[in-house]
Chain A
Amino acid sequence: MSVLSLASQHAPLLMILAPILGAALAALPMPARASWACAVIAALASAYFAIDLGQRTLLGGAPLAHYGEGVALAPDGFSIFSAALTAGLGALTLLAAGALAKGLNRRTGPLAFALALCVAAGWLGALAARDWFGFVLGVETGWLAGVALAALRGERDRMALSAAMRMLSAGAAASALLLIGVALIGRAIGSWELGALEDARIVTPGLASAGVALTIAALALKAGVAPLHLWAPAAWGRAGALALLVIGVVGMVGALAALMRIGAHGLGAPAIGGGVAAGLAALGALSVLIGSVQAIGAATLPRLAAYAAAAQAGCILISLALGSQAGYAAALVQLLALAAAALALLAGAAAAGGAHMLAALDGLGRRAPLAGLAFTAGALGLMGAPLTIGFLGRWRMIEAAVGVGWWWAAVAAIAASLAGVFYGGRLIERVYFRRANTTIEAPPRWGFAFAPALVAAIAATLWGVEPSLLLDSAGAAASLMLGAAP
């Protein structure tokens, strides 16, 4: 048996272990460039194992395996799809971070890359965990590493410290609720295995419902779902380019995927499924409404991205609440669309010299064509414009919603797209149809390291043109989640 095939058998463990080992190496005192190289190799290895697992299980039909020796891992359909996405995003953001390494000194550089890897490892751990213990540890590792990463910018900008403090205190309250929620679920079902929720004979549905509600609320706060996203605009706005990329893309997608995983397990439990669906739908509708309104009025790019992400996350939660195979698949497609849009906007902003003010985007299409193109792709994806993956996600959501008679959900999807036309259109108008304002223009910080992230974001957005591979993967992941063969 070759080393690679042996490694493939343990892909879930290795996709988590690679960034943890990489973080330990990257944290050694060395020049920021060397630390970045260690981090990139670890992130690429993690992405390889996660994508290999996804390819074998979702497209190749390999059976799901439980890994109970030493570290208890049991990835399910959602885990496998979203772990490949999260690990891929981790690799792309760390590649892009190479262009930002120049701005980091010998002390903070290694620490920043190590923390970025810890964010990815934490959320991957939560996605693959077999029991609640591993899940909570993964969530908290990812979250606390994100807080520390945001605080690193404090040396240059003291507002990063207050944003990190806000993130910490909000996240800590959520963590305490998460602990209680998990304990309530464990008590109600008599097991600490994550997958046991669906099969358990629940004699105290009130206790289990309260536990799932607290767990979902805690994860929604960490994912920046409105109205629990109060920490997000400040943290996204002040965290610095590297931390913004990591928290806003890897952290947000990881947290949303973890929320989807728990939501799907809750929906699968007959005794509490109805209540979980109602809660997810209500939270999703609120997030679409509040996120869209706030995104339309946002004054800075990170705030706009945070609010737009909340609106898109709302659509994902509504799709999830449908509880059907079509709804689950639509939620996964929209998760990918959101990841592509967030990567395009945030990596584009970093490539454009860390443009925060919307006015700094004026004339960007001429100054930095690839960044301008990425902005356009991200904005079109948020709108759900035809031929983009955003459109595909919305279309699938509407189909799934109408299929079960949830007309209001179809209306929410259309409303989110209409709001996206306002705020996404405003971005495109600034990038291509305005003259650069020399007093606030940020100089493009072009580095070849941004290219993979920008090209991948554009390509992912245009995946809507020929989506059969994506739809097959999402459909297989949804089927696995519902207990059927892919």
Chain B
Amino acid sequence: MAPFWLAALVLACGVGLTLIGAVAAWAGANLVKRLAGVLIAFIGALLAMAALGAPAPFLAAGVALMFSHAGLGLALIVRLQESYGGVESTEIDAEDRKAEASERMP
């Protein structure tokens, strides 16, 4: 059993990492950075779960979830790179907006 202060420290680190990762996943300007944010958020969540004493199957499910998100995200980034010629989310959003505006023209 880990001492209380160590568990609290790991929990704080985990929650902090999750928040940093979540912000990066939401607002990252580059899709690869967004995916990195996703991974950081999951690693933080796993740390927090371990500090809170989550059972082993739960932690294993968390790891599986992290890898499934990473796999799907990576596949999407490759397809986006092929389709848009880049992975900068600002450029992709600008192209989407342009295409949507042209669709609305009668």
Contact = CB atoms under 8 A, between A and B. Distances in A.
A165 B73 contact: yes
Contacts of B58: 132-133, 136, 182-183, 186, 192
B72 A148 contact: yes
Given A144-B69, A176-B41, A151 B79 contact: yes
A83 B52 CA distance: 31
A177 B45 CA distance: 7
A180 B15 contact: yes
Contact of B26 (A140, A151, A170): A170
Interface in B47-106: 48-49, 52-55, 57-58, 61-62, 65, 68-69, 72-73, 75-77, 79-80, 83-84, 89, 92-93, 96, 99-100, 103-104, 106
B61 A169 contact: no
A357 B26 CA distance: 28
Contact of A176 (B42, B72, B84): B42
B92 A162 contact: yes
Nearest to A179: B45
A180 B49 contact: yes
Nearest to B65: A140
A147 interface: yes
Interface string A166-189: 001110110111011011101100
Contact residues of A: prevailing secondary structure: helix
Contacts, number: 127
A162 B42 CA distance: 22
B79 A172 contact: no
A136 B61 contact: yes
Given A137-B61, A162-B93, A437-B106, A179 B49 contact: yes
Interface of A: 132-133, 136-137, 140, 144, 147-148, 151, 154, 158-159, 161-162, 164-165, 168-170, 172-173, 175-177, 179-180, 182-184, 186-187, 192, 234, 299, 356-357, 359, 437, 439-440
Q: Which 9 A-B pairs have the closest CB atoms?
A: A173-B22, A158-B83, A176-B41, A176-B45, A172-B38, A179-B45, A183-B52, A183-B49, A187-B52
24 contacts: A148-B72, A151-B72, A159-B100, A161-B80, A161-B83, A165-B76, A169-B25, A172-B41, A172-B73, A173-B37, A175-B45, A175-B69, A176-B18, A176-B45, A177-B18, A179-B45, A179-B48, A179-B49, A180-B15, A180-B18, A180-B49, A183-B49, A186-B53, A439-B106
Interface of B: 14-15, 18, 21-22, 25-26, 28, 31, 34-35, 37-38, 41-42, 44-46, 48-49, 52-55, 57-58, 61-62, 65, 68-69, 72-73, 75-77, 79-80, 83-84, 89, 92-93, 96, 99-100, 103-104, 106
Given A175-B65, A187-B52, A359-B106, 4 more contacts: A133-B57, A147-B72, A175-B69, A186-B58
